[in-house]
Amino acid sequence: MKYLGIFIALIVCSQLLFAQKNFVVDVNKVGAEVQPEMYGIFFEDINFAADGGIYAELVKNRSFEFDEPLMGWKEPNSNRHSLNVNSGRAIPITKSEDIANRHFLRINVNDGSGYSIINEGFRGMGIKEGENYDLSFMASVETGINQVNFELITTDGSTISKGSVAVNGNSWQTYETTLTASATCPKAKLKITFADKGTIDLDMVSLFPEDTWLGRKKGMRKDLVQLLADLNPGFVRFPGGCIVEGRTLKKRYQWKTTVGPIENRQNLINRWNTEFSYRSASDYFQSFGLGFFEYFQLSEDIGAEPLPILNCGMACQYNTGELVPMDEIDPYVQDALDLIEFANGPVDSEWGKLRTEMGHPKPFNLKFIGIGNEQWGKDYFDRYVVFVKAIKEKYPEMKIVSGSGPSPNGEYFDYGWDQLKKLNAEIVDEHYYKPPEWFKANATRYDSYDRNGPKVFAGEYAAHNKAEAHAMTKNTWDCALSEAAFMTGLERNADVVYMTSYAPLFAHVDAWQWAPDLIWFDNLSAVRTANYYVQQLYAKNAGTNVLPITSEGASITGQNNLYASAVIDENTSEVIVKIANTGDEAQEINIDLKGLKKSVKKEEVKITCLHTDQSEAVNTLEAPNAVVPNQSSVTADKNGFVIEAQGNAFYVCRLKVK
């Protein structure tokens, strides 16, 4: 009897351990609308995301406008510290302090031995065998020089492409040629050689791949934009982020200096240049070849709503915290009004005319605008209300995004939300960079938010597997899975959560300042992180309306390490169930579709799964497939279906029900 009792107890324990979990999805209770803009992307020029990244220009400091005008350029056969200069010398010349493109380079060639200058690119130049590269430059010949020779050289000095351009005349002219690569090199350089004795002035030395996104000349890097399009984003937030604020107001991002002809756009030091001493990048500047027009165009290209964020008269409060006085705020407000006109105004308006001249007479149909990035305290709200009043008076239909500060809780956060509720704010931007456990514990974060208050924009978030957000934290599967679990709470609360975006977006493997990031790249290729796939699965399976999903009458928010949400897509008549199993053990789950008008027996359930047993697994350029989506299917049985949810896995299940 003693052993029989033990045997029965073992059977009972085994049944409890492997008991089927029952999830009930009530198909009749169609709930809150999931906004078309729900899952978007956050772009900030950090980690060399713009110049050296998505903007396909290969020449660094093409217009000699960096604080050190020759940064990025070398003179291999000139002794700059000797009065007896060998074959030549490059001298930066200032045209005027009052124009955007202030400097050019004067080349004095002393003999015909072949004086050269070399541009190093952005940690090199990614060159592909057989590809064409569009080279252009501006030049004015003072004396003697009739030809400029160009080469693409490898790290060992070998030539993989060459070309020559005849030059003449002492007035500024633009010259162009095409270089075709005979080999692939991830870190090539551009060498410019002058064989004749004489003097020539150079400016805007530029090299772009011919094969850009949509074939636009001097456009964007094709593979990186394709990764954004593949995310199926509902919006693009730009240009940041802290980059909007600047360390000082003088160094803030000003959209008007980023539009018009690229040679007239005003270069600016990047605020991430030396922000972190352990990842200093003194050569990090902004050419603004990727400016506000290009951001609007990018959003349109990938079918996303543009969401520009503007400075509200406050420099970064982590740096100087400089404030524009309230009686001097009008130009900042006018910038916001002018931006809306630039995006939406008629072709005969001042800023609509500029948009038209840039090649886009049709309005961009801007619907959202953000005032300030991550500001906090009374100073922010004093300025915020001035912006709101001016924008709503002229553009009452514009939806305004406001900020709740840099943290998801605490004094600044509580004060910010209190003020924003009193001001009847529309959409409030919340930011959180926290450990994976925080994300799992906060899947219920928005369950208790006021349904009649402002909507939420989860504008910057990422799980960090180290305590310090700025430390080298990797895009591990543990982080991505915790985000997937957390996002079930975003989706379940779509009546409160209006839009969401992971941050940051891009990082160059040789030039990053902040990690983790959604997409890592080098000069030739890029890798989708596990976090990327989580974001993509949510965006591509957003549905149109929330459905309640419960277990034993309660939302599924961490019980037995399970998290779940459900939506219906009214356009395709499909129920979509998302399940994150953050535990190590597999669990059998029965999905009961309550309220169906007819049986779904024998209907195929399409299942996409992200899974690995290695919580520290990371997708890298060398090993991009550590965590990738896998497809499978099961057959629905009458009113539902059963899945075997592996441990450490995220599932998306789609079933046609009508």
Phi/psi of residue 417, each to 5°?
-65, -35
Q: Which two tokens stand for residue 474?
A: 């990797």
Of 203, 222, 204, 202, the residue nearest 212 (C-alpha): 222
Give dist(CA 337, CA 482) in Å, integer.
40
**3-class SS letters over 254-272:** CHHHHCCCHHHCCCEECCC
Of 296, 310, 293, 335, the residue nearest 252 (C-alpha): 310
Specify whether 374 is catalytic.
Answer: yes
The dihedral built from the CA positions of residue 252, 257, 262 and 263, taken in this order, carries a sign that is negative
Q: What is the CA radius of gyration of the chain?
A: 28
Residue 250 sits at the vertex; the CA angle it makes with 245 and 254, to the nearest 5 degrees, is 60
Tell me how far CA of residue 161 lies from CA of 158, 164, 218, in angstroms: 9, 11, 19
Alpha helices in 21-104 (DSSP H): none
Q: What is the DSSP string of 464-480?
A: -SSSSTTS-----HHHH
Of 512, 505, 513, 547, the residue nearest 529 (C-alpha): 505
C-beta separation of 492 from 565 below 8 A: yes
- Region of residue 50 (left: phi > 0; alpha: psi -120 to 50; beta: else): alpha
Of 249, 251, 250, the residue nearest 273 (C-alpha): 251
Residues, the chain? 658
Tell me how far CA of residue 162 lies from CA of 87, 151, 265, in angstroms: 21, 4, 30
Q: Which of 75, 120, 245, 374 is catalytic?
A: 374
Alpha helices in 52-158 (DSSP H): none
Q: Which two tokens stand for residue 8?
A: 């029965």
Active site residues: 374
